[in-house]
């Protein structure tokens, strides 16, 4: 299991009162990602867990959690967006922000839990790694967009390599996936 701390791009006092950590693990081609938000989370819009899982575009306009995946040395990558409401999206790119041929999801992500309790928000999702992505050689970009009750958005990632939030930059794919064996 690998654990990463995400940092707010904005770095303002409201964001500094929050902590966002992500854990990732895989077994065979199943990947489990857990986002855990702590601190003054009452300032964040956190929708309750939805009952159905469905594709939805533009999740980044509200609170959503994001995962970017690519094999080391390849220009192409996938972007996954997840909402605790049960919505998700997956996009395929040939290289930086250039959409690839239509990407067919062979298995929708599985929302395991979205729990808001005791000053903590925990969101867990599980997905099947597509064929062609080897977990042993996987680069990840972990990110989140948080909607504050004041209606502003904050942008979180392991690294912010340029002067504006841009989760698509490969220099931001600074995380590696570790396998779990059973």
- Choose between 11 and 88: higher pLDDT: 88
**pLDDT of 135 strictly over 70:** no
Arithmetic mean of pLDDT, 74-88: 91
- The predicted structure's pLDDT at residue 64: 96
**pLDDT of 178 strictly over 60:** no
How much is the pTM? 0.90
What is the C-alpha separation between 169 and 179, in angstroms, rounded?
Answer: 25
Sign of CA dihedral 169, 172, 174, 175: negative
- Choose between 55 and 175: higher pLDDT: 55
Sequence spans of domains, the chain = 2-176
Which residue from 88, 99, 66 is spatially nearest to 167, judged by alpha carbons? Answer: 66
Arithmetic mean of pLDDT, 159-174: 89
**DSSP symbol at 14:** H
Q: What's the longest Cα–Cα distance across the chain? A: 45
Arithmetic mean of pLDDT, 108-131: 88
What top-level class would CATH report for the domain 2-176? Answer: mainly beta
């Amino acid at each position: 299991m690998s654990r990463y701390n995400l940092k707010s791009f904005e770095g303002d006092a409201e964001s500094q009162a929050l902590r966002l950590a992500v854990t990732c693990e895989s077994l065979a081609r199943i990947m489990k990602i857990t986002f855990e938000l702590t601190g003054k989370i009452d300032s964040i819009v956190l929708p309750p867990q939805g009952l159905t899982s469905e594709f939805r575009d533009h999740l980044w306009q509200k609170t959503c959690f994001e995962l970017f995946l690519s094999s080391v040395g390849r220009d192409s990558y996938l972007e996954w967006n997840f909402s605790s409401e049960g919505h998700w999206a997956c996009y395929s790119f040939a290289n930086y922000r250039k959409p690839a041929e239509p990407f067919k999801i062979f298995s929708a992500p599985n929302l395991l839990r979205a729990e808001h309790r005791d000053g903590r928000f925990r969101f867990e999702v599980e997905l099947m790694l597509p064929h062609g992505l080897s977990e042993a050689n996987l680069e990840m970009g972990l990110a989140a967009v948080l909607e504050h009750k004041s209606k502003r958005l904050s942008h979180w990632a392991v690294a912010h390599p340029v002067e504006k939030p841009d989760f698509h930059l490969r220099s931001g794919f600074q995380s590696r996936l570790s396998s779990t064996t059973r």
